[in-house]
Amino acid sequence: MKPNLTIQIVGWNSAQELPAAIAVLKNLPAEQVVIRYIDNASTDDSLALLNRELPHADIITNDLNVGFGPAHNQGFAICDTDFIMLHNPDLILAWDGVQQLLSLFDDPKVGAAQGKLLREQPAAGESPVIDSAGIVLTSALNGKERGAGETDHGQYDTEGDILAPTGAAALYRMTALRAVAHHTNKGVEYFDHDFFAYKEDVDLGWRLTRAGWIVRYAPVLQGYHARALRREGLFNWGVNPRAIYQRLRSKRTHYSLRNWLWLIIKNATVFQMLVHAPVVAVRKIIMLGFSILYPPLFQAWWQAALGMPRMLAKRR
C-alpha cells in the first residue's frame, strides 16, 4: 500500500522540542505516512536524535539556514504522495484528527485544510487554550491566527472556509500547490522563496483561494502547539515597553513587516486595496513610528521596496 500523506518537518536547533513530537510520529503507520525531516544547519543534537528515534525518516540536511519556506520547498519538490502536512518541531500531533481532515479532500475543490490546534493539553478541570483555528484576513490585509490565545468555549466548532492553514500544521493537496507555484530563476517556488520566514503560509493560502481552491477548516483536534510567543497588547507584542522593544529587535518583526508589504502587492485586488486603504495606512504609520524608535527596522522597508519588482512579477 503506497502512502498518501507526507509529514514534513523543517528544523533548526530543535533538539529540545523534537522528543515530544517524535513520541507520536514514531508510532504512525509506515504504510500510510512518509516522514521527512529537513534540517537547516543545526548545531545541536537534532539530527542524531532523528536518526536514532526515526531511522525510517527521509532526512535532508542543509549546510546553511535557508529559511522556513525555502526548506519546505525542497521537500515539496520531491513529494510523491497526494497530500502533504507541515509539522513544526514543537507540534504534538493528534493522528485521529489528521485522518478526519484528510476526508475533506474528498471534495476535489479543497486544496488545503486545517483542524483546531491547542496550546497544550489542559490539566484536569482546566479549559483548553486555542493556538490556531486557521488564518483569516484582517482589515489591514494581514493574516491573523484565528482564536490564538482564546479559551476554547466551542466558538470555533463550525466547519468553514479560511484564508490559509497555519504553517505549523498545514495540510495541502500537492496538485493544488503545483497549480499555484511560482516558476522563477530560483526554481519552482511553492512558498515564496523571498519571504525566508513568516507569512509565507498566508501568501500561499491567499494564492490558493485566488486561484479558486477551497481552504477548509474543520473543528477536529489536529494537535498541540506550544507556541513560545504569547499574544497580548499592541500588535500582540506585549504590554510593557521592554517587551515591545524586544519585539522590535526581533528578526521576526523585520521579516513580518517586509513580508506584509509584499503580501499586499502580490495578492490584494484593486478593490481590496481601495476598501482597506485607511486601515493599511494607519498600520504603516504605526510601523513607521516604531522604525523611528528602532532605526534598524528601516531595513525592512528598504528590502520591501527593492523586492517590489519581483513581487509584481509573481503576481497572478
- State the pTM of this model: 0.94
- What whole-number distance in Å separates Cα of residue 164 and Cα of residue 171? 10
Q: What is the pLDDT of residue 236?
A: 55
Q: What is the pLDDT of residue 180?
A: 97
* Residue 166 identity (one-letter amino acid): T
Q: What is the pLDDT of residue 122?
A: 80
- How many percent of the chain have pLDDT more than 70? 95
Q: What is the pLDDT of residue 290?
A: 93
- What whole-number distance in Å separates Cα of residue 28 and Cα of residue 206? 31
Q: What is the pLDDT of residue 228?
A: 58
Mean pLDDT, rounded, for 11-27? 96
Mean pLDDT, rounded, for 193-217? 97
Express each pLDDT in 209-244 by its tens digit.
999 999 999 999 999 998 755 544 455 555 566 777
Q: Which residue in 72, 96, 61 sits closest to 7, CA to CA?
A: 72
Mean pLDDT, rounded, for 250-272? 96
Cell numbers 509584481: residue: 312
- Collect all residues with Cβ–Cβ distance below 8 Å to 271 and sequence separation of at least 6: none
Give the CATH number of domain 5-225; options: 3.30.9.10, 3.20.20.105, 3.40.640.10, 3.90.550.10.
3.90.550.10
Domain boundaries, the chain: 5-225, 234-314
